[in-house]
Amino acid sequence: MLKVQTGQIIEFYSNSCCVASAGKEFKCTIQGRINLVVGDLVELKIVSSNDSLQGIVTKRFERVTALYKSKEKVKKPIAANVSHIGILVTKSPKTNLEFIDKWIAISKNASIEPFVIFNKIDLLQDDAFDEIQKVYKGIGIKTFQISAKLSTNIDELKKYLSERTTIFVGNSGSGKSTLTSALTGKKILSRELSNNQGVHTTSVSTLYKAKEMQIIDSPGVRDIGIDHLKPNEIILGFPEIMNYSLNCAFPNCSHQIDEGCAVITALKNGDIKESRYNNFIFLSK
């Protein structure tokens, strides 16, 4: 009789996966048509536990959280049981504010906590990120200023990530692989794109464990569609707009040219940042 135990998927391929269980890593096939992604907790039957560690995944346990990408309103999971999303922001390559705001909306709708990491501070003046940082601190988003390359402020970030499962998102070249290496002590391979636009990680999604933290490195989450989110869901990523919207004269207010719109009034008074308002309107279309 095959031994049955539980584990977590730490690498996922097209029709097989690697599962960490009881301090060992098992190369596993998948029984039936189970929908799996990195981070899933699973039940596996051990086929071999000697020199060749092999198993069969027979069941997936219920996910606490799931991160989805969508295209034409079709959702596809890309990671499971994630507690935090770290949004990497750099001056070069430049991260636009729409990218940050979109990922905050994605995170909030997945019940995942977003935070913002301003990376490559070693290449900039000390106050280069201060104005942007104030915007996100003002809406209760945790922020960090770091240099992944020089490990500046990495210990502070490690403390925050303790006992959490985190996935990093950022533009190509923002330093996701360098940061993951700095946090885990593992060398994360990357390759330069042929057009010299930055760095792109390996195509295999991987979960790295280091002391009390877990970090998922997935190439499928650089920039994802949000077709599956409705305007009343996108607004969850804009708490300051949502709070003022409760005072609008009409419940179906579009927050653009409507008479009695409390959001427009707050925007004119400077209580809502123009960049945040513009991104809310753009993402809600």
Q: Are residues 22 and 108 in the same domain?
A: no
Residue (of 15, 19, 40) closest to 5 by Cα position: 19
Which CATH number goes with the domain that contains 193?
3.40.50.300
What pLDDT score does 21 carry? 95
Helix axes 97-109, 274-283, angle to 10 degrees: 60
Residue 75, token pair as written in the block: 């959702």
Decide: residue 172, CB within 10 A, 0-12 exposed, 13-18 middle, 19+ buried: middle
**pLDDT score of 14:** 81
C-alpha dihedral sign at 112, 199, 171, 118: positive
* Per-residue confidence in pLDDT tens, the chain, 285 aa: 678 999 999 999 888 999 999 999 999 999 999 999 999 999 999 998 777 899 999 999 999 999 998 877 788 899 999 999 999 999 999 999 999 999 999 999 999 999 999 999 999 998 999 999 999 999 999 999 999 999 999 999 999 999 999 999 998 889 999 999 999 988 886 644 433 444 443 468 899 998 889 999 887 676 788 888 999 999 999 999 999 999 999 988 999 988 899 999 999 999 999 999 999 999 998
CA atoms within 13 A on the CB side of 187: 2
Which of these, 104, 189, 115, 190, lies nearest to 156 by C-alpha position? 115
Please indicate, yes or no, whether residues 55 and 164 belong to a single structural domain of this protein.
Answer: no
**Beta-carbon-side half-sphere exposure of residue 135 (alpha carbons within 13 Å):** 16
Instruction: Residue 78: name the closest of 205, 234, 166 by CA.
Output: 205
Q: Are residues 34 and 117 in the same domain?
A: no
Whether the full predicted model's pTM is greater than 0.85, yes or no, is yes
Whether 187 and 115 map to the same domain: the answer is yes
Contact yes or no for 87/104 (Cβ under 8 A):
yes
Annotate 15-51 with b (16+ C-beta within 10 A) or e (fewer).
eebbbbbeeeebbbebeeeeebbbbbbbbbbbbeeee
Identify whether 226 is part of a domain: no
Tell me which of 17, 37, 60 is where a domain ends.
60
Residue 18 lies in a domain: yes
Burial of 3 (0-12, 13-18, 19+ CB in 10 A): exposed
The torsion angle over the Cα atoms of residues 121, 105, 107 and 18, rounded to 10 degrees, is -90
Identify the CATH number of the domain in which residue 9 sits.
2.40.50.140
Q: Is residue 100 one of the residues assigned to a domain?
A: yes
- Whether the Cβ atoms of residue 4 and residue 45 lie closer than 8 Å to each other: yes
Name the residue range of residue 242's domain. 231-283
Is 166 a member of any domain?
Answer: yes
Q: What is the predicted pLDDT for the residue at 192?
A: 41
- Give the CATH number for residue 274: 1.10.40.50
Instruction: Kindly report the length of the chain.
Output: 285
The answer, yes or no, to whether the previous bond of 239 is cis (omega within 30 of 0) is no
Closest among 125, 134, 138 to 91, alpha carbons compared: 125
Asked if residue 169 belongs to a domain, the reply is yes
In this prediction, residue 189 carries a pLDDT of: 67
Q: What local confidence, expressed as pLDDT, does residue 190 receive?
A: 60
Residue 140, Ramachandran bin (φ over 0: left; ψ between -120 and 50: alpha; else beta): left
Are 125 and 248 contained in the same domain?
no
Q: What are phi and psi of 62, to 5 degrees?
A: -60, 135
Number of domains in the chain: 3
